[in-house]
Copies of this chain bind each other. A is one copy, B any other.
Amino acid sequence: MSRLLQLGAEMVRDEDVLLGYQADRLTERRPLVIGDRARLRSWTVIYEGSRIGDDFATGHGVVLREENEIGDRVEIWSHSVIDYGCRIGSDVLIHTGVYVSQFSVLEDGVFLAPGVALANDKHPIDKSNLKGPVIRRGARVGMNSTVLPGVEIGADAQVGAGSVVTRDVPAGALAYGAPARVTA
């Protein structure tokens, strides 16, 4: 095995999966590390320079960029895109067609529903000032919701479907709407 590709035991990988894809923004090549029992489905691409735990699974057409730190038992479903430099805990489920921007933080047990988008740039495209949302442990974000840059969603909070989250949501709260307001 090349030092640039450090793959665990018992990987099951469809034919059309790209691993260690070169990131143009990095000036030198960096290793991709994936733990045991990964299940990677067709048309998934994982860039170089990420470190991923055990029991990782992807749907079809997943794009995982470089320099991500990912825990154990994480699933990323079809057509979701994880941009670079994120920290993702364990037992996280990123459903279908989600976009996670650069430098987002998803703690353990987070759930992102289909179509969720996390933003990191108040004044696109200003790459000097990117700040992704922080989604605390156990928080759940509903379908097609949008979370603005730097917003923090507290532990076990829940965001209703179709919301636009412009301010922090306290731990345990339920918030929804555009802009999202706390209701419980």
Q: What residues of chain A have their CB less than 8 Å away from a CB belonging to chain B? A: 16, 18, 42-43, 45, 59-61, 63, 78-79, 81, 93, 96-97, 99, 101, 111, 113-115, 117, 119, 124-125, 140, 142-144, 146, 148, 161-164, 177-178
Q: Is the CB of A45 within 8 A of B60?
A: yes
Candidates B42, B79, B177; contact of A97 at CB < 8 Å: B79
Q: Is the CB of A146 within 8 A of B143?
A: yes
Q: A78-B63, A162-B146, A162-B164 are in contact. Are A115 and B117 (CB under 8 A)?
A: yes
Q: Which 8 A-B pairs have the closest CB atoms?
A: A162-B164, A99-B114, A146-B162, A144-B146, A117-B143, A115-B117, A146-B161, A63-B78
Q: Is the CB of A60 within 8 A of B60?
A: no
Candidates B43, B99, B114, B124; contact of A61 at CB < 8 Å: B43
Task: Find chain B residues with CB under 8 A from A140 CB.
Answer: 124
